[in-house]
Amino acid sequence: MTVRVLATAVLALALASTAARAADPRYPDWPCTQAKVPEISLAAVWAGPALGDAETKWKDDAKVSALVSKLAARKTPLDEAEKSVKEFLSGSAADKSANAKLLFAGLFDTLNAQRSQVMLGLERVSRKQRDAADKIREETLQLQALQGATPRDEAKVEALSNELIWKTRIFEDRHKVVRFVCEVPTSIDQRLFALGRVIQQEME
């Protein structure tokens, strides 16, 4: 593949991602086709009793905090996480209700924070991609000028060609990673909803 074809492909990707971002002017740096929802609302994932002081006190309970860390980790399979929830909420009705609220409050806080970090990272990469596309456009024009110059400086043409190929590869690799990471906020939503449902079922 020639440098010109590579650069053209990169610009097509850059333009496509710009068009996607322009779909929602509130979030100009958001690179995903999925709509950006900045934060999970409590009402969307919890139909149980009011959490009350559990929203702040869950961190004071070492056992709850440790379990929240385990359940919130994406490396923990969901079925294993659900089983851990059921084991933790196997005490008396009074203990079960208090522990359930603490556990869900911790999950809600922790997974919302995870989500925010992922989304900030995506927007950071999006800005880098926009800058990279601008640089590739600029260097493509420089290369075209060098190729048309008389006399032609082959060493400069080769050096800039190699640099463009390298920058194009980095751009394309980032583009693939972004498409993969764009799925993460949705998977976090699904985990929180699923675990919240199990917690509420155990309270009944």
Distance linking the first and last C-alpha atoms of the chain: 63
Q: For residues 7 and 146, what is the distance between their CA atoms, to the nearest angstrom? A: 15
The CA distance from 47 to 51, in Å, is 10
pLDDT tens by residue, 86-119? 999 987 777 888 999 999 999 999 999 999 999 9
130 Cβ contact list (under 8 Å, min separation 6): 14, 18
2-11, 61-70, 161-170: range with lowest mean pLDDT: 2-11
Angle between helices 93-148 and 78-88 (to 10 degrees): 160
The pLDDT of residue 157 is 87
- Chain segment 137-163, per-residue pLDDT in tens: 888 888 888 888 888 888 998 898 888
Residue 22 has pLDDT above 80, yes or no: no
For 41, list phi and psi in degrees, rounded to 5.
-85, 145
Are 160 and 139 in contact by the 8 Å Cβ rule? The answer is: yes
Show the DSSP H helices in 23-77 as ranges: 42-45, 54-57, 62-72
Q: Helix, strand, or coil here: 119?
A: helix
Domain boundaries, the chain: 3-203
Amino acid at 152: R
